[in-house]
Structure 1
């Protein structure tokens, strides 16, 4: 009778461990799904998109009597060294400005068709 008790005890331990393992496996599978979603439904895969910051639009150049100039970019007055939309205004000439972002530079002239990358 004692032998039967040891066999039953081992059997209960084994069944418990198997049930615990199955329970952990199924709970991890279901945790990744929405419980309110229809059966078999999978969430759409998200696409990674990179966003580009648009080049500011040069709308005007203003200079005072001491030849201190500012530029109007995207309806904002910007001085040399000022930043707009992630770009830094590096220089202002009579009819154009230079913008810098990282190692790239752009020359914006008063007319949009004359944008040049340097």
Structure 2
């Protein structure tokens, strides 16, 4: 008799714990979707903004990109400064190049 009582008690407790593991508000037959591995998000680097170019007498130029003074060979916002001229700054990243200019060449008269 005690064995039967323990058996019934065990079955009752076991079934209650299994039932509690499910969402009681879920529709009948609904299964929780399996977790998928999250994909890595691509990091987007914005092309730096050219604010100024300063050249000294001996043709050494520096530029201000995104508020930071940089020389040729330095990096800013993930872009490498490859050339600084009196009219433009060339930056590169991932095999691509961008020419940044202070003023547009389209002058209307």
Query: Match of 1:71?
Result: 63
Structure-1 residue corresponding to 2:100 = 108
Q: Which stretches of structure 1, 4 residues or longer, exceed 3 Å deviation after superposition?
A: 40-49
In structure 2, what is the Cα distance between the partners aligned to 1:77 and 1:107?
Answer: 17
- TM-score, reference length from structure 2: 0.58
Cα–Cα, structure 1 residues 106 and 43, in superposed 2: closer, same or farther, change >3 Å?
same
Which structure has more relative contact order (CA 8 Å, sep 6+)? It is 2
Equivalent residue pairs, number: 77
Matched residue, 2:80: 88
TM-score by length of 1: 0.54
1:44 offset after TM fit, Å? Answer: 9.0
Structure 2: distance between partners of 1:56 and 1:69: 17
The gaps in structure 1 that reach 5 residues or longer are: 1-29, 31-37
CA–CA distance in structure 1, aligned partners of residues 46 and 34 of structure 2: 32
RMSD, aligned α-carbons: 2.7
Gaps of 5+ in 2: 1-17, 27-31
